[in-house]
Structure 1
Amino acid sequence: SLQASEDGNSTANRTVGELSTHYDLNPRNYAFDTLRASHDAFSGYSYQATIAAGLGHKLWVSDRGGLGVEAGPGYRRSKLKDGPAENNLIGLAKGDFSYKISETAKFEQTLLVLGGAANTELESVSGLSVNLTKTMALKVAYTVQHNTNVPADKKKTDTFTSVNLVYAFGDN
């Protein structure tokens, strides 16, 4: 969830939730499913909700990082603020890259494309995380979010920078 204001006026109000599962087929290939929902008060959409499934492949894997891609079909329900809800078949394409810069720092890049006839969502997230302890990290991220179909008074592209405190559960 992201909220921001400037001089008492709200400048950002965005909430995104995503749940994904992976099922390993072999060391480099896997099947996935994902459920994603978003609300952005400044995008022109009341909500966009997506469910998709497909196959993923790890192109590069090492102790320093990895590069993987995912693709598959899906279904999206979306509602513009001043319009009816729409249901569309979509295609999902995603790329994930991570690289361990040092023992305590890691760079991550994710590119997500959810393409359909009514709208194509593109999201790019670039992040740098630094471990503070074994279970805590500080992450700075830059996000570019683009929708190809928005109301005339809305921007197609939004960008924001975030600073997050990340807590890792389980064994490290």
Structure 2
Amino acid sequence: MTRFALLPLAALATAALSAPALAGLPAPVRAMIDAAIETGDEAKVRTVLELARATNPDDAAEVDAILAAYETDLAAAAEAEAASEEERIRQAGLFGNWSGKGEFGAFRSTGNASNTGITAGLSLLRDGIRWRHKLSGRADYQETEGVVTREQYFAAYEPNWTISDRLYAYGLAQYERDRFQGFSARYAVSGGLGYDVLTGEDMTLSVKAGPAWRRTEFVAGGSRSDLAGLAALDFDWRLLDTVTVTQDASAFVQSGSSTFVSDSGLVAGIAGDLSLRLSYTVEHDTDPPAGAVRTDTLSRVTIIYDF
């Protein structure tokens, strides 16, 4: 009986001798670590722990144990936050979970019409678990002495379905009207695949491509429908916290008149949710209606409100 009772005690004694001491840090050092953790600043916590390890090498095991517990708590908090966000998205109604921006300013155009007028735009985005919905619209209008000299409208709806972290499928329905380019309405429908090439905090790049169908109704009468191919890219580069360079481009390639559009912009934060955007758009049609030129350019200066 005595022999078997001593074995566990011997094992416990050996374990106690071999286990690292977890109570050796001086009280001021431990208080400094606790204060850093209370701030919620991960970089500060790691810096304080590194200093504690460097200045108290004999208590490195205790510092490592504190770090391990801290990282476990961080992971649990991140997981809980992600689960809460997913549940919030799932519970959002049809009109919930939308964000967007409104834009208003002035433009200067050259090409089929050379004048200055007002421009307004609106874009909305709804992010879901697998679905993302984009709505956008823009109007450019100018009137001189009661005569309309610029009238261009654009509207688009694009649903995206996430296939993997970077790959997605897209759909697109688009409407345009520009009588000075020779068409009273131009419709486009497309679907295909997109890929997020860059997903960093400061630089993003997304590309997409797929087949398309376009119908053009001409001002002079008649209409035309064509099968086409669509390719597009969306690039954003944050140079500074308040300055971002944007580049959007698209190409509808088809028999007859193909359309190529490039929109380059510079966005600078002003205050809060307000920012200033300077942009330059070039639109080129390879075979425009009779009387219209091939290339239009549009320079815009707008104020943007994010909501």
TM-score, normalised via structure 2 length:
0.52
Number of equivalenced pairs: 169
The counterpart of 1:49, out of the listed 179, 183, 187, is 187
Report the alpha carbon displacement of residue 5 of structure 1 after superposing the two structures with TM: 5.0
Pairing 1:39–2:177 present: yes
The 3-state SS of whatever aligns with 1:82 is coil
Alpha-carbon distance between aligned partners in 2 of 1:117 and 1:16, rounded to the nearest angstrom: 23
- Which has more radius of gyration? 2
TM-score, normalised via structure 1 length:
0.90
Alpha-carbon distance between aligned partners in 2 of 1:55 and 1:101, rounded to the nearest angstrom: 29
The counterpart of 1:2, out of the listed 133, 137, 140, is 140
State the match for 2:217 in structure 1. 79
Pairing 1:24–2:162 present: yes
For each residue in 1:54-98, what CA deviation from the matched residue of structure 2 results, as whole angstroms up to 9, or x when unmatched? 100111221112112100011111112113121211111001111
Alpha-carbon distance between aligned partners in 2 of 1:87 and 1:106, rounded to the nearest angstrom: 38
Aligned AA (1:36): Q
Once the two structures are superposed, the pairs formed by residues 1-172 of structure 1 within 5 Å of their partners are 1-5=139-143, 10-169=148-307
The 3-state SS of whatever aligns with 1:42 is helix
Identity of aligned residues (%): 27
State the match for 2:30 in structure 1. none
The 3-state SS of whatever aligns with 1:149 is coil
> Relative to structure 2, which stretch is displaced further, 8-17 or 40-49?
8-17
Report the alpha carbon displacement of residue 134 of structure 1 after superposing the two structures with TM: 3.4
For each residue in 1:4-52, what CA deviation from the matched residue of structure 2 results, as whole angstroms up to 9, or x when unmatched? 3567764422111111121111111111111111111210111111011
> Relative to structure 2, which stretch is displaced further, 46-55 or 74-83?
74-83
Structure with more helix by fraction: 2
The 3-state SS of whatever aligns with 2:181 is coil
Unaligned runs of 5+ in 2: 1-138
RMSD between superposed Cα atoms in Å: 1.7
The 3-state SS of whatever aligns with 1:101 is strand
Aligned AA (1:57): Y
The 3-state SS of whatever aligns with 2:228 is strand
Alpha-carbon distance between aligned partners in 2 of 1:10 and 1:142, rounded to the nearest angstrom: 22
Alpha-carbon distance between aligned partners in 2 of 1:12 and 1:159, rounded to the nearest angstrom: 13
Unaligned runs of 5+ in 1: none
Alpha-carbon distance between aligned partners in 2 of 1:134 and 1:56, rounded to the nearest angstrom: 32
Structure with more strand by fraction: 1
Alpha-carbon distance between aligned partners in 2 of 1:51 and 1:152, rounded to the nearest angstrom: 25
Alpha-carbon distance between aligned partners in 2 of 1:125 and 1:28, rounded to the nearest angstrom: 24
Alpha-carbon distance between aligned partners in 1 of 2:176 and 2:230, rounded to the nearest angstrom: 16
